[in-house]
Structure 1
């Protein structure tokens, strides 16, 4: 994890999570709170999204939503752990889905498995699209401090 500091906050970039698609850090720590930028299911060093099949124009033909969920949870874990927190330290999760009707039940089932021991606050919203051909993105806040 690389850290660039200012007097009251630190920008953090994971060495395991996918590279950001814009000019922003993976997370920023302010005091004992860790604010994650939107995290998707891509894998570090790859442009291809796990479980996504595109046509020659870059339009989504098919996607494996469950595979994307597992990948996005893993990416969040990478960032949180490299910043010195634990999965159980997540306190708030905002979920962006591009197809609530088809994907929410799968997301809800997997979320219950991943968060069985820790139950952060959660908001789930449907959006028209995301900046890359993904069906899910998470925006999270975690506690980083004394346990």
Structure 2
């Protein structure tokens, strides 16, 4: 049995899924991006009239996605220091990995969960980074 959990502070899911599910003492987060709650605004992203990415700031997106993960963790009864596994999806590893890795090290200097970082072709919204996380409760 599991409990579906949603944060009132993190961006709304873009599909039919919860922010997180609690199973035993584990918390599984759905993919979390850098969008802002209540808007389609993505920090650091400039779009053309058709919704295509013109420019983006990976640093702004990293800070925003880490903030969103933290909000979901807290609203689900967990915390940043209880993260045990993080999967990171980047849409441009060559251009963004160095900046992302530097910012990641700032956020995870005290807690160092297992981490996997992969490059993918695209994400469902015009974002450059998404996180999939597992934490304890």
2:5 alignment partner, one of 6, 12, 20? 12
Q: CA offset at residue 73 of structure 1?
A: 0.1
Report the equivalent of 1:27: 20
| Structure 1: runs of 5+ lacking an equivalent | 1-7
Report the equivalent of 1:84: 77
2-structure distance, mates of 1:82, 1:59: 32
Q: CA offset at residue 48 of structure 1?
A: 1.7
| Equivalent position SS for 1:81 | helix
2:109 alignment partner, one of 103, 116, 131? 116
Which of the two has higher C-alpha Rg?
A: 1
Report the equivalent of 2:38: 45
CA RMSD of aligned residues (A): 0.5
Report the equivalent of 2:132: 139
Over 2 Å off, 4+ runs: none
1:103 alignment partner, one of 90, 96, 101? 96
Aligned residue pair count: 137
TM-score by length of 1: 0.92
Tell me: higher relative CO, structure 1 or 2? Use CA pairs within 8 A at least 6 residues apart: 2
